[in-house]
Structure formats: structure tokens, C-alpha cells
A and B are shown apart, each in its own frame.
Chain A
Amino acid sequence: MTGSHGQHGAAMGPGAGELIAVVGAGLVACGYLLAARRLRRRGDTWSPWRDVAFGTGAAGVVWAAVGPLPGGPFTAHMGRHLLVGMAAPLLLVLARPLTLALRSLSPGTARRWLLALAHSRPAGWLVFPPLAALLDVGGLWVLYRTRLFAGMGHEPWLHALVHAHVLAAGLLFAFTVCRLDPVRRRWGLTVRGTTLLAAGAAHAALAKTLYATAPPGTSFTAGDLHAGSQLMYYGGDLVEAALAAVVAASWYRAAGRRQRRRASADWAYRGCARPADSGFLGR
């Protein structure tokens, strides 16, 4: 056994964990699309790109659970890890699921509960970006630098648990860094940017140590180990750049709104009408 936990699915058919992932992702995606349809029928605008992002993210989770992935056992594991822990969470978070839920639920118990949960104190702690980063990247250090990774290959339930944690932590991290949904405490650009920088550095450093030293208790071939750690390094880069672009784009939009507000306040103060044709105003 080389710790190639990913192969037990192929050998024995989908296990309980895979089944839960597929059914769960399917149900959640259906719920999202139905809620978005409800909003549009009511006359609200909801960008179709958010539907696409959410559907693709859910499909990524399904693919990671049952789909074939190229490369040796470690490379395939790393591909799965990238999909479940980074790419899919970013896509799911971009679709603003909490905003959609709050807007599509009719006023009543369910909506009140969700709002209470989003504004609760523990939720406020969880969305503190450094804590989310610690749960996400810190969890990876524990996974690859203790015997947990080797143990995961022997115990299907441990394998399912680890991947559930990777998905949950990835979602939390993307959620707090992007800050697209309304939550109790909204952290500023500096905290989120610094957190992204630190988490990215820790991720890159972990990928480089994996290139040199396999997780304890495993024996992958050198080629597999190198391909897997390079996938982690450059794949991580891609998602980090995408996260940074989301953060920067939201800053850009907010700055534009501030400029327009200041400009119109200024013109009101001078007692003039706003010039309609000033291209610099944007919309």
C-alpha cells in the first residue's frame, strides 16, 4: 500500500463517502438554481454567471469524488485536493450562495434562523481571515507532515473525513478572503490581503517540501512525488491569483462608487447639475 487512497474507489466502486458527496453536491446545486429562478421570476436581477459558477463548482466536487484523474497516485490525489480544496470553493463562493439564500427565502422561520446564524458570534469568529487560513493551510501541514496521510489510505472513513474538512476549510477561506456575502464582521482589505499572502506563502513552501520529502509513512515514486508537488505549487498559484483578482476587483468597484459619490456631493455643494456626458463617471 503506497497511501494511494484514491484507488479504493476505482477498485470497489463508489464508497459511502463518494455517494454522499455526489448526492449532496447535486442537491445543493439544484437548490441554488431553483432559488435563482425564483428570484428572477420575482423580477430581481441575478447574474447567470453566478449560476454557471455554482454549477461548475458543484460539478468539480462530483468529479473529484468519482471522476478519473490523470497521473500517479500522488499526482491524482493532488489534483483531487486542488479541485475540492481550492477551485470548487472559489467557484461556489463567487456565486454568493448566502446572499441568494437570504434574498430568495420568504420572511419566516427559515430566513430568521439563517440570518441569526450568519450574524452569530461564532460565525463572526470563523470569518476572521487568519483563523480561516490556519484551518485551511494549517490543516494541510498536519495532513502531509504527520502520519495522517498514510492512515487515510487504510481507512475509508478517515479519507472521507479529511476531504470533507478540505472542502469545508477551502470554502471558509475563499468566503472570508473574497467577502462577497453579508456576514457579521466585514474585515478590510489589509487583513484579507495579508492573509492571502501568508496562506499562499505557506502553501508554496509546503509544496516545495513535498517535492523533496514524501509525507511520512508513504512511498511514492520520485516522479509521482515531483509531478504532484509541482501541481500543488502551480495550481495553488492559479487559484491564489484568481482570489487576488476577486479581492482587487471588489476594491476597484468600491473605489469607483466612492469617486462617483464624492463627485456628485461636490457638484451638489457647488450648486451645479452633474454633467451628464462626463465619461470618467462610468455609468
Chain B
Amino acid sequence: MTTSSVKSAQPGAGDSARPTAPPKATGRRRTRRARPDRKAWLFLGPFLAVYLFAMIIPVFYAIYQSLLKVERSGPLGLGAPKVVFGGLDNYAIALQQDAFLEGFGRVLLFGIVQVPVMLLLSLVLALLLDQISDRWAGLMRATYFLPYGIPGVIATILWGFLYVPGISPITEMLGDLGFQPDFLGPDTVLWSIANIVIWEFAGYNMLIIVAQLKSVPQELYEAARIDGAGPWQIALRLKIPLVRPALILTCVFSIIGTMQLFAEPLVLKKIAPAVIPDYTPNLSAYFDAFSNANIYVAAAKSVILAVVAMVLSFGFLSLVTRKQRSER
């Protein structure tokens, strides 16, 4: 609430000099309202400019590029290649690549397992932090949040050292106990990646849930205690329903993040042959663009990925809110 909005809420304030025509006053009021609007745009300007050039324009450019193709003639295409409008050809090429589609299957499987596990962990941590005394809570919060401050690439390099046999103390210890763990095999590397992602983001999601818990009025808890609810009941019947919006938000972010899985497999690729260039859809688009020089196919793959991520996150949202609506 700004002062100007308060002002405009009192019609005629400050122009008692002109006691004329109330109908015009509405028009005047509108212009006066536009003033703060203009100021707001001034503040939003820098952000919008960057957003336009770094997000909106590239999105349209990628869609445009995905509709182009190169026409070549001769076995080496030496007959002066031309860029022509290719319609949906690139989409057809991308969707006919089994490996690209398998990548989607892989990230879906990853999401179905990793997102619930991570959010459950975040929720448990948040509830525990909410219980313990404030002096420790700050330190613990910072500790859990710390991994989020480490860039994904660096985190993966660090974890990579813990996965590679011969270097890793973990495999050595397990080896002494008679186990032969293979963290980088074709069946296990996906879960090794899941482990890294959980380590990176559980603390971040926990913080969002904690913030929501902090905004709960204390009277509710008092009322619950007076009604004879113990800490378990308060947690299950009161806190978890109350942090539902935070859970939905973190879940949507996690779904989008999962679809875009990229840095972790790219770094692990160096030490795990099981991570193929088409391991995730994002990786597939990257290799097409920068390694195979198929920029237009890569653009199509990016658009497909964006559409799938959108459908999944909005689908999830509508599913959850429909439940809410029916509950009311």
C-alpha cells in the first residue's frame, strides 16, 4: 500500500479548488492513478529489458529456428547449402529419435522417485527445525541450505570423486565390508544423479516450507494445544495442511527442474560411459546444437522440452487445485 493509493481512495482529496463535475472526477482520478503506474514501470524497466532480451526474445527465436532447415545437395552438401523454411520437419526428426524419447522416459522416472523423496525430506527437516529452539534453528537452517550455494557443476565434480572406484573412500569402505557398489553403471547412475540433486535442493525447498510455517499465527497452535493436541497431532493435522501451498510451489519447481536435468549428467558423462549424449532431453538438445552442429533440430528439441515441462507443471497444478476446489 502506497500513499498514493490511499489518496486516490479518497475522491476529490486535494482538489477542493475545483468543485466541478463529479463525472470528470473519475477521469481525473484515472490519470492520477496512472502516475504511480508510470513510476512503477520506471522501476520495472531494467528488469523487463533484461527479461525481454534474455528470455522472451530467445524463446521466440528458438521457435522460429525450429521451423528452419538446411537444404543440401550432393554427398557432402557442397552445392551451396541454403537455409529454407522446413515446417515441422525438425519436430518429426526429433520425435523419431528413440534415444531422445527414451530421455523423456528417464527424466520422468527420475522425477517420480526423486521429487517425492526430496520433498518428504524437506518437509521433515522443516518440521523438525520448527520444533527445536531458535538458537540452534538458525545454524541448522544455514547448514541444510549450504549445499544450494554450491553450483551444480562443482557439486557433481565433488560427488564424482565419491563415486569413482579407486578414488572414492565410500566404495573402498564398502569394498572392505564385502560389497561391490557400482555407482556409475547403466542401472545405477540415474540414482547417483538423484542423490546429488537431493543433496543440492532439499535444503532450499526446506527453507520455503519453513518460511510458510513462520507465517502461521501462533494463536492457532495455542488453540490446538488447549483442545488437547500433542506435537504429533499439531504437525500432522495443522502444520502439514498449512504448508500445502509451499509444497505445491516446490513441487512445481522440482518438476520443471527435473525436466531440465542437464549439468549433473553432463559432468558425470566424463566418468560414466552409461551417460549417453541423449541421456536427458536437455543434454540431447545441447549435443545436437554444439557437437553435431544441428542447430535447427536442437531448437525443435528445446521447444518440445518446454512444452512437455509446461504441460506437466500446469497439469499438476490444476490437479491439485481441483482437489482444493472440491474440498471447499
B is bound to A: no
Interface residues of B (CB under 8 A from A): none
Interface residues of A (CB under 8 A from B): none
